[in-house]
Structure 1
Amino acid sequence: MGAPVLLLALTLFPVAAEASLEPHYMVVFPAVIHPSQEEKLCIHLSSLTEAVHLAVTLEMETKNHTLVEQDVEKPGTFECITFQVPELTPWETDASASQSEEVVFLHVLIHSDDSVLFEGRKKVLVKPQKNVILVETDKALYKPGETGKARR
């Protein structure tokens, strides 16, 4: 019983090996990004058979912002890239004020010299970071009439 199973496994191995040689692409990007702040995206490209060009663009209504543009040559590349999110201006969005949220698109293009290997477009929320003021006191709770002491 062991020999037929081993024979079956050996006959299926070349099929599985061929399937794993196809290029695989993964781009991880936050669903919410904040203007004028640094954000991070990560890429993983495996089983590359040739050098590819990666371009990641933030598509807004009137203007596109290129976040990443680079050539990737080696297979199994995993890299996290930091980029600066551009400040949204009222003429780039439907918003009348720069303090509102806006939905934009992230466009990822991976291509070789002669063909497009992957192209994807996803929605991303651009949301201004809210400032939070934290006041720390010397006690968790005060009784009515007690004087509070704040720390710097």
Structure 2
Amino acid sequence: MGKDKLPSKPNIFLLLLFFLPGNTPLNTEPQYMVLVPFLIHTNSHEKICVQLTYLNESVTLSATLEYLGENRSLIDDVVSEKDVFTCIPFSLPKSNSTSVAFLTVTVTGDTLHFKSRKSVLVKNSESLVFIQTDKPIYKPGQTVQFRIISLDKDFYPLNEKFPFVYVQVSG
């Protein structure tokens, strides 16, 4: 009883749809959006993505990363399409400590000018090392079988080599 019946009270969501204006003009002002990780890892593949919409003229798009006293140009291109979305891969060298980098994005045309400067944190990439043995406890004289796995921050295997392995036996 009541499973196949329509609800007796009107659905408020459907009523709200009727009150939305149907001829609302779309925003056609030029806009941009920049996507970049808040935390950038060194010696790792990172990306910066830029979206430009509703362009009405050709513009010059540039993105510069200021890191460890150097300015690194990530993109410097002329865009003539009305809408564009592009991602640029980059990587940063390892540093002595965690530091801050500054990303500056500039979009310049005859009548258009966007400029934004934001800070991002740069941290050395770290690996995780797991050591696994075939048994939790060994008796004297037994052969210990083990493996060592090194993973990156996303838990993907790394091709790291360990110069030596030190095994301590306590008894």
**TM-score after normalising by structure 2:** 0.63
* Residue of 119, 122, 131 corresponding to 2:127: 131
Instruction: Tell me if structure 2 keeps the 8 A contact 1:109–1:116.
Output: no
Instruction: Tell me if structure 2 keeps the 8 A contact 1:104–1:123.
Output: yes
Q: Distance in 1 between matches of 2:68 and 2:133?
A: 46
Partner secondary structure for residue 100 of structure 1: coil
Task: Give the Å deviation of 1:57.
Answer: 0.7
Alignment gaps of 5+ in structure 2: 1-17, 149-171
Instruction: Tell me if structure 1 keeps the 8 A contact 2:74–2:88.
Output: no
Partner secondary structure for residue 134 of structure 1: strand
Q: Number of matched residues?
A: 128
* Residue of 18, 34, 38 corresponding to 1:27: 34
* RMSD of equivalent CA atoms: 2.7
Q: Distance in 2 between matches of 1:145 and 1:121?
A: 62
Task: Give the Å deviation of 1:61.
Answer: 6.0
**TM-score after normalising by structure 1:** 0.70
Task: Give the Å deviation of 1:54.
Answer: 1.0
Give 1:49's aligned residue. Answer: 56
Kindly report structure 1 stretches of 4+ aligned residues shifted beyond 6 Å: none
Q: Distance in 1 between matches of 2:139 and 2:80?
A: 69
Higher relative contact order structure (alpha carbons within 8 Å, sequence separation ≥ 6): 1
Q: Identity over the aligned pairs, expressed in percent? A: 35
Query: Which of these two proteins has the greater Rg computed from alpha carbons?
Result: 2
1:58 and 2:55 aligned: no
Alignment gaps of 5+ in structure 1: 1-5, 89-97
Question: Which structure carries more helix by proportion?
Answer: 1
Q: Distance in 1 between matches of 2:89 and 2:40?
A: 12
Task: Give the Å deviation of 1:129.
Answer: 1.0
Q: Distance in 2 between matches of 1:66 and 1:115?
A: 24
